[in-house]
């Protein structure tokens, strides 16, 4: 997609330069030099190469606060995701957070024979291999290690989610073939890996015969 098409699709042309996005942006409060409005203005006025090489391209948290408050309904988060995809195509990448642990975790799940044993479910959680309801845990079981400094207990969340379903009379299907949902990869512009994850997860869920999917992704 060309930069012009990205601007048109995300309604960036409608930016009024009112500054509401900047005034409510958590990054701007931390770093006054950063401005969502300025990123849009740069894409509209300056050379595409200059826009895609800007360090600020990777500063957005994609929290969506600007989307909610923009009077012109500019889809800023989609705008940033598209620009990051174009930047990656040019070999540009931002600084990876969490010592690149999440990036490495995503990469490991692209291995053909990757599987996720159900041992993460722990005790008391009843699941099956086939059923009308599917429980998708994504990377939840792996994040205990990544976020242990804040006391995050992903496995406990997964176990509690399944037991809640059990209490409602539902024994969900769980597949060892599911992989990451691709959330972080999407917001860093890595469309290729997102597409791979989507196809693999769809195939895994279809094999269980599920008609609905329940999430408790962190």
Q: How far apart are CA 36 and CA 17, in angstroms?
A: 10
Q: What is the mean pLDDT of residues 121-128?
A: 94
Q: How far apart are CA 145 and CA 93, in angstroms?
A: 25
Range with the lowest mean pLDDT among 74-83, 120-129, 159-168, 209-218?
A: 209-218
Among the candidates 89, 111, 128, a domain finishes at 89
Range with the lowest mean pLDDT among 21-25, 32-36, 183-187?
A: 183-187
pLDDT band at 47 (very low <50, low <70, confident <90, very high): confident
Among the candidates 52, 71, 89, a domain finishes at 89
Q: How far apart are CA 26 and CA 63, in angstroms?
A: 9
- pLDDT for residue 218 is more than 70: no
Among the candidates 72, 89, 106, a domain finishes at 89
Calculate the average pLDDT of the chain: 91
Q: What is the mean pLDDT of residues 28-49?
A: 90
Residue-wise pLDDT tens digits, 60-106:
998 999 999 999 999 999 999 999 999 988 888 877 777 778 888 88
- Global pTM reads 0.81
Domain coverage including residue 136: 98-215
pLDDT band at 51 (very low <50, low <70, confident <90, very high): confident
Find, among 25, 110, 95, the residue nearest to 57 by Cα.
95
- pLDDT for residue 187 is more than 90: no
Identify whether residues 107 and 79 lie together within a single domain. no
Structural domain count of the chain: 2
Identify whether residues 79 and 138 lie together within a single domain. no
Q: What pLDDT score does 172 carry?
A: 98
Q: What pLDDT score does 60 carry?
A: 92
Q: What is the mean pLDDT of residues 2-21?
A: 92
Identify whether residues 102 and 207 lie together within a single domain. yes
User: Could you write out the DSSP letters of every residue in 35-55?
Assistant: -HHHHHHHHHHS-HHHHHT-G
Give start and end residues of each alpha helix (H) in the chain.
Answer: 3-9, 20-24, 26-30, 36-45, 48-52, 65-69, 76-89, 101-108, 143-146, 154-167, 183-187, 191-208
Q: How far apart are CA 57 and CA 50, in angstroms?
A: 11
Identify whether residues 82 and 171 lie together within a single domain. no
């Amino acid at each position: 997609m060309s930069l012009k098409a990205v601007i048109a699709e995300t309604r960036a042309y409608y930016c009024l330069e009112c500054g509401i996005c900047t005034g409510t942006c958590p990054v701007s409060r931390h770093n006054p030099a950063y401005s969502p409005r300025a990123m849009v203005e740069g894409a509209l006025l300056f050379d595409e190469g200059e826009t895609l090489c800007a360090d600020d391209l990777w500063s957005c948290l994609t929290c969506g606060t600007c989307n909610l408050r923009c009077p012109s309904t500019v889809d800023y988060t989609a705008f940033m995701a598209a620009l990051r995809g174009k930047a990656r195509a040019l070999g540009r990448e931002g600084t990876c957070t969490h010592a690149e642990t999440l990036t490495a975790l995503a990469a490991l799940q692209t291995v053909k024979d990757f599987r996720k044993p159900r041992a993460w479910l722990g005790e008391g959680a009843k699941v099956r291999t086939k059923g009308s309801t599917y429980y998708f845990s994504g990377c939840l079981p792996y994040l205990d290690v990544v976020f242990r400094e804040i006391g995050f207990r992903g496995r406990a969340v997964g176990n509690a989610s399944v037991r809640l379903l059990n209490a409602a009379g539902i024994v969900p299907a769980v597949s060892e073939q599911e992989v990451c949902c691709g959330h972080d990869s999407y917001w860093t512009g890595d469309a290729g890996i997102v597409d791979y994850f989507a196809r693999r997860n769809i195939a895994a869920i279809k094999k269980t015969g599920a008609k609905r999917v329940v999430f408790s992704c962190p």
